[in-house]
Amino acid sequence: MLLFEPFPSLPKAEGQALGRTIDQAAVVLTPVQALAAAGGGTAVRLRQRGDAPAYIVAGGAHPVVIDASNGRRMPLLSPQAAASVFGPGLPARGASVVGPFGYDQWVVHNQFDALRPFYRVDLADPVGTQIYVSARTGDIVQRTTRWQRGWNWVGAVLHWAYVTPLRSSFAAWDRTVWIVSFVAMLVADAGMILGIVRMLAVRRARRPGLTFYRQRWMRWHHLVGLFAGIFVLTWILSGWLSMDHGRLFSRGQPTDAQAALYSGLTANVAAASVDGALLHRLSPAKEIAITSVAGVPLLAVTDQNGKSGLLTIAGVPVTPAKADELIAKGLGRAWGTPPALSGVSVPLDDFYSLAEGLPPSARRFAGADARPPVYVDGGTGNILVLMSTSRAAYAWIYYALHSFNFPGVARHQVLRDILVLIPLTAGFLFSITGVVLGWQRLRKSTVPAKSKEITR
């Protein structure tokens, strides 16, 4: 079911589009003043938090939120304020607010840790929409519907062992699922080896067919297992590798030193170069992040539709060609790559883009040498993933085998569905035969015990 109804998610651009526009006229503090008020940080962005504009300063376990109008640290949002973070495109009239709470079934992923706690806003609409708002920053981070929640309880939650008590501890969940998957893979290996050994025994005995089992369910279990076992093994292997998290393969992320070289400026230096008056002159925006690439301070501005673009600190839009030039220069500094890097747009059905879940604004940078390409968000300048040989192998072994999103198939949804349903059906039938055989063995083992009790 997970292949056809994925776990609910809200792309960052859509979440920003649902929020309110920054009240830029109310901004008094400059970005560097906000950093000072927060006691320093590694990144700073401006967004509307309820009725007030706020600077979100990252750097610790949780971001520090500074009121952009007076420089004070802001407390957690109240339930009433949480319902007021939405823009006019999503009226929350009649909605109910639940929270604040640390964890919920649909925000258990550790990517949300810095933004906890959350409010859940239940919209009074026919599809049962629920939206999650960070009580700390006001970010809109998740959206689910009744249909998604229902199917994911029997899909992703069971498949990933995504029960909240376990998943709320990443270390416990990671080790548990990794070990259980590994044991399951060993059991599947043993079953497949035994099935092949029994088949070879039939062939050596020169008997007709592929199995010598006479009992109907054992016969079907052996025959179906010889075919379905191949897919069972590849799915368990690829599913186990989904829990790799850097154990065997690269995570595809730059080191802190590489990230610093790519940026070229500390957050404080980049913020100090931004004139506070500029923030009043910019077009209406949902978010303004201060960033830098190759030592050049920039603004990553998200417009009212959730689309991001780069501006100079003078407020002039950075052309795509100039953005590519800066990104290539920054990558050259970080990885020692020759400057002759070229950036190209990444198609939505690009295999590696699908495997990594890259946004539509992703661009691929590669040179003439054999160094791995780097994927960068052209709208923000942020590095998305370094597609090293190890990371590329991971994409093939995990993503392609597990979802059947092979190149050329991903764009043909009906064909992919058919290709997936065939082994799924075989695996389901194989599982049924195993359940029936297990039940028969269980019944046989309990019958003698009951008869002995009757005799006594």
pLDDT, block means (10 residues), the chain with 456 residues = 83 91 94 94 94 93 94 94 84 80 93 95 90 95 95 90 91 91 90 89 82 87 88 86 87 93 94 92 94 95 92 94 93 78 83 88 82 90 93 88 79 83 88 90 73 48
Residue pair 365/376 in contact (Cβ under 8 Å)? The answer is yes
Report the 10 Å Cβ neighbour count for 55.
30
* pLDDT score at 455: 44
pTM of the model: 0.85
Phi and psi for 97 in degrees, rounded to 5?
-115, 130
Residue pair 11/359 in contact (Cβ under 8 Å)? The answer is yes
* pLDDT score at 210: 82
The DSSP code for 110 is: G
Report the 10 Å Cβ neighbour count for 198.
16
H and E: helices and strands count for the chain: 16, 14
Burial degree of 452 (CB within 10 A; 0-12, 13-18, 19+): exposed
* pLDDT score at 301: 95
Residue pair 286/19 in contact (Cβ under 8 Å)? The answer is yes
Residue pair 374/330 in contact (Cβ under 8 Å)? The answer is no
Give the separation between CA 270 and CA 262, rounded to whole angstroms: 13
Concatenating the DSSP letter of every residue in 112-147 gives: GGGG-SEEEEE--STT--EEEEETTT--EEEEE-HH
Give the separation between CA 28 and CA 276, rounded to whole angstroms: 7
Give the separation between CA 367 and CA 373, rounded to whole angstroms: 8
Residue pair 1/154 in contact (Cβ under 8 Å)? The answer is yes
Report the 10 Å Cβ neighbour count for 146.
13
* pLDDT score at 91: 65
* pLDDT score at 54: 96
Residue pair 367/376 in contact (Cβ under 8 Å)? The answer is no
Q: Helix, strand or coil for residue 344?
A: strand
Residue pair 381/300 in contact (Cβ under 8 Å)? The answer is yes
Q: How far apart are the first and last CA of the chain?
A: 50
* pLDDT score at 412: 80
